[in-house]
């Protein structure tokens, strides 16, 4: 998706980050935000390129505020026990409905 080889419903693109709609949304708003460079998970991104993590979070916050003015959730899954199935760091921006806790 970052390279454009796979079609994505893009929401935002910067030099370092891409935000696009999830193809299997878990909420009315479900946008994935990824760095354009590969990092396995959020811990690796924080260690290797903290400035990109800040940009990713800034873009996620902008998407959340624009699409879900009553509130939104930002989720990172880190490792298989947390539900990370794609080994490229990605943040989930979820909203458009009331979120419950614990998430599951």
- Among residues 30, 38, 39, 90, the one annotated as catalytic is 90
CB-based contacts of 26, cutoff 8 Å, min separation 6: 92, 94
Phi/psi of residue 39, nearest 5 degrees: -145, 135
Told to judge if 38 belongs to the known catalytic residues of this protein, a careful annotator would answer no
Query: Would you please indicate which residues are annotated as catalytic (active-site) residues?
Result: 90
């Amino acid at each position: 998706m970052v390279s454009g080889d796979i079609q994505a419903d893009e929401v935002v693109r910067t030099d370092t980050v891409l935000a696009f709609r999830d193809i299997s949304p878990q909420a009315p708003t479900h946008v994935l935000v990824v760095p354009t460079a590969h990092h396995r998970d959020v811990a690796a991104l924080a260690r290797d390129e903290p400035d990109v993590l800040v940009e990713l979070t800034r873009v996620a916050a902008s998407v959340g505020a624009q699409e879900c003015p009553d509130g939104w959730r930002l989720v990172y899954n880190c490792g298989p026990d947390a539900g990370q199935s794609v080994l490229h760091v990605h943040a989930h921006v979820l909203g458009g409905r009331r979120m419950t806790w614990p998430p599951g």
